[in-house]
Amino acid sequence: MAEGVNVRFAGELQFVQQRTSASGPYSSVSESIRDLLRHEYECEEQRKWQWLRQELQAGATADDSEFVALDADSIIGEAKKRRKNPWPLRA
């Protein structure tokens, strides 16, 4: 479901006018704004993936001696403890 939003800008919008003119890449101001928002969304998604890669890097490059053997019961038990008291997420 699409929602309409009206936005007013103060000052000159020469940049937007150039991009929505006959020689510009967009046919309307709305199209230009939608493209800007899509770009912002993509940048945010890239930042999230980069954060995840950084978080996983230590495990991906760890030596085998740094790993700890776990069994299903201990993992389930830890998950149950977190569910009962989710804060703090890390003990």
Closest to 13 in 3D by CA, of 29, 34, 35, 36: 29
Which pTM value belongs to this model?
A: 0.57
pLDDT at 50: 94
pLDDT, tens digit (0-9, with 9 covering 90-100), for 8-60 = 877 778 888 888 888 889 998 889 888 999 999 999 999 999 999 999 998 89
CA distance 23 to 32: 14
pLDDT at 86: 63
Contact at 8 Å (CB) between 26 and 32? yes
Contact at 8 Å (CB) between 79 and 72? no
10 class by beta-carbon count within 10 Å (0-12 exposed, 13-18 middle, 19+ buried): exposed
pLDDT at 57: 92
